[in-house]
Amino acid sequence: MSIYSTGVTALQAAQASIATTGHNIANVNTDGYRRQEVVLATNTAVKTGSGYIGQGVNVTTVRRVYSEFLERQVIQSESRAAYLDQYQTAIQQIDSVLGDRSAGFAGAIQKFFAAWQNLSGNPASGPARQGVLGAANVVANSINSMGDYLQSLQESVNREISSLVAQVNSYASNIADMNTRIAAIQNSQLQPPNDLLDQRDQLVSQLNELVGVTVVKDATTGDYNLFMGRGFQLVVGGESNAISASSSQYDPLRTEVYAAGDVVQISGKSVIAGRLGALLDYREETLDVTQNELGRIAIAMTESVNALHASGVDLNGGTGNNFFASLTASPLALASTNNAGTAVLTATINNAGQLTASDYSLTFDGATFTLTRQSDGQSWSDPDVAVLSGLAAQGFALSISVAPNAGDSFLIRPTVVAANNASVAISDTALIAAASGTALPGDTLDNQTALAITALQRDITLIAGNNTLESSYTSLVHRVGSKAEEVETNLRAQSNLLDQAVQAQQSASGVNLDEEAANLIRYQQAYQAAAQLFKTANNMFDTLLALGG
Amino acid sequence: MRISTSYSFQMNIAAMQEKQANLSHTQQQLATQRRILTPSDDPTGAAHALQVSQSLAASESYAANIKAATIRLNGESNVLEAVRKVLDNVRNIANSASGTSDMEKRAHYATYLQQTYQDLLGYANTTDTDGNYMFAGFKGGTVPFQQVSGAANYQGDAGQRSVAISNGRQIEVSDAGQTVFGVGSADDPFAVIDQFITDLQNPGLTGSAYDTAVNTALTSISNARSTVVGVHNQVATRLQELQEAETVQANFTLQFKNELDRVESVDMQEAAVKLQLQQVSLQATQQAFVNASQLFLFNYL
């Protein structure tokens, strides 16, 4: 009889192996699937007087081929690769529009000064005056449309942050759920639920791409505990902590990431990794800076041309008006929604040449105001906010409506929206003040103010005391281009690393169809051999019966 | 080493995509004939190209100013030459009139000088190619010399216009009538000629008084002529400088254009060869993919 039972174990083992091979073949294209294999062991032998008689085979377990070492390498590489991939996608949108020197600001500002040069040669000429107005409108429009475009990029960053945060929460809660289910199965069956483990690993991998997570496996429960950034717990056992995307305390039009309950902002530079981290870093390092730089150029151009224009005299003999619409009132001074007081802060440009491309924070401790430049942390303090802005000499003056409460804070963005407000203030060519301030009515050939304006093209005091309008723009193009190039280079290197890690992981855990085909033949033969056992046993039984007859 | 079937497909697809992207980049370079498609292709090159294009634009502006200034000063030079000739005529008449007691001849000279006076007035009120009065200072729309009972009254001002012809160099492209014709001085040719006509027509003015009047006219006209010639020489000097500046800016323009070309332009031959290689490479990858995907044990079961 033992031949039958041994045959049954052999058939069962072959069936389990064929079923597992089929499962592997079926999941050859399933993301995150690790190939599985049947672990076989001999049954306990029966002791007889003539020794141990083997009792066949049993299926110990079906296990997935999983190397913790190789999996960890993939996890480490893929978050960085996703970060760089997202950064590259985002920065390309700026890189591709800044550099064109025939269109855009670079070409427009050249034509603007060329038009003033032409006017300086023919100050009374109507067409030359029309040329100046036309070129001025083109340069203002180029700054405007670039400003609008950057603003639309800000809006899409906001939308994308919200969407990514929703995905992060969904993955985190699914992983917590998986932790619970896996623990329940393992406690009751003592066998690993391979496919659920794969699914959980796949969810972790997807979450890791979004925010970069550290996985800590609980040695007793087998739960995955996930940490993001500087120790924020996303998943602990069967619980997940949601994050949220909401408006910044200063700016209702800017989305930041908060821990649940909207209390602690967790989106800061380089706090979060992965795609979400890339978006946040890109916004702060590249998009904000580009907006601020462009705004600074818009302000420097507007205020320097206006100052000279106001010192000149137009064709009607009148003193020059603003040539460009003034941008002195364009700085944003935003109060925190957490402020207990009602103080309204106002920032006004008072020296365009001193402006930086940084934003500033202003805090009040009950007695003293502290102004901090965010780009480098440089700060100034004084009990009087107007004195403070004079002391800091950052190109803007501050004034406050009433005393704030202790602990109130403000965000000052001196140049961020200036580009969106650039425009030409005059439309009558006669109002172009090409003549010197001492010109009398009829002095149509006086070109001294026009000449002075042409000299602005080479004036290196216009921006931070060491840049012309054009060189400042060139620096911006260089800066964005270099960052884009750096990201691209790093992405290429990181993609190679990730490829190697994935290749090693796939080499161990991926399904190879040739191997499965060979296995299929092998297990089929084992099955056929086991079946032969029954035939043999049956023949033996028949022989016995024939002896009896 | 084990190969994951699914991953090897993905790798093949990724390889083809990368080769297609490279091919497309080269195609774009060839289509635009530019090496730098976005600043990230070569940030330093892109920034350099912007700088050079700024210098080029400035240089072209200066070249346009130089051209316009040359045309204008050539016009002024011609008029000043004509003015000098008119003053030479006046001087010749003064020489002829010297010592003449024949009232008929004096009347004849006076008539001739009245015509000369009108010629001079015409030149002084010349308009330039833009329709502005050449010698009105800044008051381009105002007739600068108006005849008020014989003498000419200057309505212009002392304004002298300059334009930029290089970084840091501005050149004067006009001279005020006040300077050219010595308005307000004893050598104002209009006043001198007007007085001379009056003297010639005065039958009571004879002898040494007449000689003195003729000599005064001669001296004053000579002085006026010197002033005009002085201005004319300045104009000639400026024209010479403009000619030199034109060569300099033309050289700059050429140099900047060459530099832009060097930084930005794609080497067409190199790009064409690269395109060919990239096509071959893509085709090879595709072929390898097709071949490899047929190699399956399952095909033989």
DSSP labels, A60-122 = EEEEE---HHHHHHHHHHHHHHHHHHHHHHHHHHHHHHH--SSSHHHHHHHHHHHHHHHHHH-
Which amino acid makes up residue A152? Answer: S
Which tokens is B252 given?
């700059």
Q: State the best of B50, B173, B242 to mutate against chain A, taking most chain A CBs within 10 Å.
A: B50
Nearest by CB to A485, from B40, B138, B140: name it: B40
Interface mutation target, options A138, A293, A436, A445, chain B, most CBs of B under 10 Å: A445
Beta carbons of A518 and B297 less than 8 Å apart: yes
Whole-angstrom Cα distance, residue A508 to residue A34?
9
CB atoms within 10 A of CB A260: 12
Does residue A449 lie in a domain region?
no
pLDDT number for residue B129: 85
The pair of three-digit structure tokens given for residue B60, joined into one six-digit string: 């072209």
CATH tag, B51-260: 1.20.1330.10
Average pLDDT over chain B reads 93
Residues of chain A where predicted confidence (pLDDT) is lower than 70: 1, 261-263, 268-270, 549
Contact state of B50 with A101 under an 8 Å Cβ cutoff: yes
Alpha helices in chain B (DSSP H): 5-32, 43-97, 103-124, 177-180, 189-201, 207-264, 268-293
How far is residue A373's CA from residue A411's CA, in Å, rounded to a whole number? 10
Cβ A471 vs Cβ B51: under 8 Å: yes
pLDDT band at B301 (very low <50, low <70, confident <90, very high): confident
Q: Does A234 reside within a domain?
A: no
Radius of gyration of chain B (CA): 38
Distance between CA A101 and CA A146 in Å, rounded? 14
- A224-228 and A232-236 as β-strands: parallel, antiparallel, unpaired? antiparallel
Determine the distance in angstroms separating the CA of B83 from the nearest CA of chain A, rounded to an integer: 23
Interchain pair B44, A478: CB under 8 A: yes
d(CA A179, CA A174): 9
| Alpha helices in A321-394, H assignment, sequence order | 385-392
Give B94's contacts (C-beta < 8 A, 6+ positions apart).
B196, B214, B217, B218, B221
Cβ neighbours of A398 (radius 10 Å) = 26
In a domain, A78, yes or no: no
- Which domain, by its residues, includes A15? 2-65+513-548
What stretches of A190-222 show up as alpha helix (H) in DSSP?
194-211
Amino acid B68: pLDDT:
94
pLDDT tens for residues B143-192? 999 988 777 899 999 999 999 999 889 999 999 999 999 888 889 999 99
Looking up tokens 């997807």 gives A206
pLDDT for the residue numbered A1? 46
Residue of A nearest to B8 (CA): A503
C-alpha separations of B256 from A98, A109, A179, A453, A471 in Å: 21, 18, 67, 24, 17
Residues of chain B in contact with residue A515, where contact means CB-CB under 8 angstroms, are 2
Q: Span B64-88, mean pLDDT? A: 96
Whether A513 sits inside 8 A of B57 (CB atoms) is no
A518 in a structural domain: yes
Helices first, then strands: H and E counts in chain A: 12, 17
Phi, psi of A320 (to 5 degrees): -60, 135
Looking at per-residue pLDDT, the higher value among A196 and B130 belongs to A196
Contact B39 A439 (CB under 8 A): no
Q: Is the CB of residue B141 less than 8 Å from the CB of residue B148?
A: no
Residue A442 forms part of a structural domain: no
Q: What's the complex ipTM?
A: 0.88
Query: How many separate domains does chain A show?
Result: 1
A28, A123, A480: residue with CB nearest B5: A28
Tell me the residue type at A344. Answer: V
**Residue A7 domain-assigned (yes or no):** yes
Give the minimum alpha-carbon distance from B25 to chain A in angstroms, rounded to a whole number.
Answer: 14
Question: How many A×B Cβ pairs under 8 Å?
Answer: 187
Distance CA B234, CA B219 (A): 23
pLDDT digits (tens, 9 = 90+) for B250-292: 999 999 999 999 998 999 999 999 999 999 999 999 998 888 8
Residue-wise pLDDT for A266-295, tens only, equals 776 667 899 999 999 999 999 999 999 999
Examine residue A98 and state whether it is found in any structural domain, yes or no. no
Determine the distance in angstroms separating the CA of A524 from the nearest CA of chain B, rounded to an integer: 12
Nearest-neighbour CA in chain B from A195: distance (Å): 18
Instruction: State the nearest Cα–Cα gap between A25 and chain B, in angstroms.
Output: 10
- Which of left, alpha, beta for A70 (phi over 0: left; psi -120 to 50: alpha)? alpha
Partner residue facing A507 (CB), from B2, B65, B163: B2
Residue A27 lies in a domain: yes
Here the tokens at position A313 are: 């005299």
- Please state, in angstroms and rounded to a whole number, the distance separating the CA atoms of residues A249 and A257: 11
Say yes or no for a CB contact (<8 Å) between B138 and A445.
Answer: yes
A477: its two tokens: 């193009």
User: What pLDDT shows up at residue A239?
Assistant: 94
Which of B42, B164, B301 lies closest to A451 in CB terms?
B164
Identify the residue among B36, B38, B53, B133 best suited for mutation to test binding to A, counting A beta carbons within 10 A and taking the highest. Answer: B38
Is there a contact between A517 and B297 if contact means CB atoms under 8 Å apart? yes
Q: Which two tokens stand for residue A388?
A: 């403070």
